[in-house]
A = this chain, B = another copy of it.
Amino acid sequence: MTTKRQIKRLLIVNRGEIAIRVIRACKEMGITSVALFSEPDRTSLHVQAADEAYPLDGVSAKESYLNQEKILRIAEQAQVDALHPGYGFLSENGSFVERVEQAGFLFVGPSSRAIRAMGDKTSARRIAKSLGIPIVEGTIEPLNSEREGVEIASKIGFPVLIKAAAGGGGKGMRVVQSVEEFSSSFRMAQSEARNAFDDDRVYVEKYVQNPRHVEIQILGDHYGHVIHLGERECSIQRRHQKVIEESPSPIVDDKLRRAMGEAAVMAAKEAGYSNAGTIEFLVDANRNFYFLEMNTRLQVEHPVTEWVTGIDLVKAQLQIAMGEPLPWKQEDIRFTGHALESRIYAEDPRNNFFPSTGTLHIYTTPEGPRVRVDNGFRKGDLISIHYDPLLAKVVTFGSSRHEAIETMKRALSEFIVGGVRTTIPFCEFVLSHEEFRAGSFDTHFVSRTFSASELDRAEQGLLLPAIVASVLLKTSQGSILPQLNHVEKGSHSLWKKRREETYRPS
């Protein structure tokens, strides 16, 4: 099918943590990494991390990271061998991938044909159905009109989900509870889909009650060999976007893993799929699973699979793209321990998870045992409204799920961000919640258990120190007791005065 071809220079068509993730793989493989950057990103960390960098014009995603002409022109100019799309942006855009292929570059991902077959949600549902893989009830074809949607929704019964055919990452997705809501949700989903994917086709499916969201990672080479790397549990979501993921899933046993894995591999083979991909399933309370969609790219949450399998998925992607056969058979894949990921978004969990913008005045990431940080920013960076609000991912590992959770709590306690609000306190809430710790939760966990007042409760123990510190800061500003607070490093005065007894805990 394909012959082997080296990648010596790779263009990374993305920004933030995922661009840096790919750059790191390049460094470890001796590949020259070439970055792109929009105007506001010109001094960003991914530009600094890359070997070379080329400017894109403009500020908005559309003008920059979605600008196909410009990106292809840079690929020519920089004489790269291949393009890596990361996730989001152009990663699942079939016509872009086709142009990349036609221009003679390798694309680090599936072929445009496979993306069209599986990346399009409606086409993927058709394929799954044809293979006898259970799917969620709903339309197979995209909706032609709002009216058609209302009719189908009424037939299968509310609540329903409107989803972007080209979608992913929760964008262009809306839950509709009743006929009255349909019209506004339909238009918002269309408009979001158009903005995010440049494709406003949407479809409708039944909204499954209390499901778990479990996905299977697959890897396929250019020679028809496809394996799966087990599952990721992704039920902890806010606004239909994942925020905490883990592998293995607390509800998946060997038998279910095998069944879901086989279905995933079958679907990928049917579509002639190569490279890394993910099949998303809903799992109901009786452990029945339903094909949901396929993400034809690297997932945000790929690190949890990397940690439990020991396989570097980005390096595997690059090797596959170079025409290497997969070095593993299914039986070579072994799972060790438990891995957990927390996504640190610039969002305000007290205010409906609205994006939070500003300057990262303070930005300290965690370190230490069993902690991996995939981070895209540094102190002083500006978080603007132009791009996805994902700042970093914290991934932890444990010999048990309990240990992975305790390590995550410890790691998040070390992650200090000042200047924007983040999902850190929210993740801490989840990690301490009994249901989560017991492993018994579904995709409604957040809406059922979380509110801003839960954060107040969790932070109760910090209120007294906050009160006293606020007075000390206040008096230092108002210069009432200036000598008290701003003890410069190197001065011993306060120190000397302080009695040892001060340190005795109450």
Contact = CB atoms under 8 A, between A and B. Distances in A.
The dominant DSSP class at the A interface is mixed
Interface string A389-408: 00000000001000100110
A28 B303 CA distance: 22
Copies in the complex: 2
Contact of A54 (B21, B77, B372, B503): B503
Nearest to A30: B406
A337 B312 contact: no
B503 A369 contact: no
A377 B52 CA distance: 31
Interface of A: 20-21, 24, 27-29, 39, 42-43, 49, 52-55, 77-78, 303, 306, 310-312, 336-337, 365, 367-375, 380, 399, 403, 406-407, 409-410, 413-414, 489, 492, 495, 498, 500, 503-505
20 contacts: A21-B369, A24-B410, A27-B409, A27-B410, A27-B413, A28-B403, A29-B406, A39-B492, A39-B495, A54-B500, A54-B503, A55-B498, A55-B500, A303-B369, A310-B336, A310-B399, A312-B403, A367-B375, A369-B372, A380-B489
Contacts of A500: 54-55, 77
B374 A372 contact: no
A77 B500 CA distance: 10
Nearest to A77: B504
Query: 7 closest A-B pairs (Cβ-Cβ)?
Result: A28-B406, A27-B410, A367-B373, A310-B399, A24-B368, A28-B410, A54-B503
B312 A78 contact: no
A79 to B, nearest CB: 8
Contacts of A373: 367-368
Nearest to A504: B77
Contacts of A372: 367-371
